[in-house]
Amino acid sequence: MIFSSDNWAGAHPAIAESLIAHAGGYASAYGTSDLDRKVEKKFAEIFEKDVAVFFVGTGTAANSLALATANRAGGITFCHREAHVIADECGAPEFFSHGARLKPVDGPWGKMEAARLESEIRRYPLDNVHGGQPAAVTLTQATESGTVYSLAEIETIAAVAKAHKLPVHMDGARFANALVSLGTTPAEMTWKRGVDLVSFGGTKNGCWCAEALVLFDLSKAHEMHFLRKRSAQLFSKSRFVSAQFEAYFTGDLWLNLARHANAMAARLAEGIAASKTSRLAWQADANEVFPILRKDVAANLRQQGAVFYDWPVPHDLDGSLAENEGLYRLVTSFATQAEDVQRFVAAC
């Protein structure tokens, strides 16, 4: 019963087989091989638009480089208070952007509200040199709370950003999970809603180590080549990232893996909601579930082999838990088995 993180799951067999298939022979390096070009074209096909694709090794690298390319002197990037970029990146976005600040924006269940975003941006008028200047807006899709921005919510946030001439970045570490939750297309969830660049994650959804930064504004690609090299993210044997994405996209594997993970999370949520000893903190949309458990129940689950994390209580829930209760996070993946979900629910 491993519900600690989708990062704990290994690689899907099709991904591993593709790595083996491309392991022999020779291929030109640094993203110039035929396979690299083939996968770049596949990204363009998926997004229904010519895009610039930059492979990197981690989601942290993708997010940090995205915000670096959007930064300006005294720059401030706006994100949700509990977004991964501000809570879990160890200052990497600030480091790679040479000191840009991250400004938290409130909103329930991991999603920033457009009105609050507008208010926070207005705190930094462009003629106030002491305060710094707005540089970008970044939203996490799916969020750290397991929720998903609707297309309308994305469009509304992007409209606020555009009114202030700010680029919009999407942290898509769980991009596929959000996509299948909405039942939409990559184009509809991104550039058609006003998103300018995406951190496209594959590692959490069955890849070994495959992340990409996708730029919809091709004029930014030249600068990104240098930013990626300077950050030590230009892989000489990039074909091994491409090999993963080739298998990932074949036969809609990436969407099917995300659907499975989301379905397992929905089963968990349903079982927890029906339990007499636990309840859902909120209704999640993707592959993360946040139950409130009695601490003795959580301890018993762990004794029976369940693995999951304690989770910090977000601002939305301050003061709502009893002394003997805790908030926990359960994450499902492509590797989650239905019987493990059932065992966990039964133990609750």
pTM assigned to the model = 0.95
Q: How far apart are CA 137 and CA 170, in angstroms?
A: 9
pLDDT of the residue at 317: 81
First to last CA, the chain: 13
Residue 339: CB atoms within 10 Å: 9
Strand pairing report for 133-140 and 75-80: parallel
Burial status of residue 257 (CB atoms within 10 A of its CB: 0-12, 13-18, 19 or more): buried
Residues 202 and 191: their CA atoms lie apart, in Å, by 19
Per-run averaged pLDDT (10 residues), the chain, 348 residues: 94 97 95 96 98 96 95 94 92 89 94 97 92 95 96 98 97 98 98 98 96 96 95 95 98 98 97 91 95 94 95 83 92 97 92
d(CA 199, CA 227): 15
* Residue 138 · residue 101 · CB < 8 Å: no
* Tokens 């939409």 belong to residue: 184
CB-CB neighbours of 314 under 10 Å = 18
CA distances from 272 to 15, 28, 56, 275, 316 (A): 33, 51, 37, 5, 20
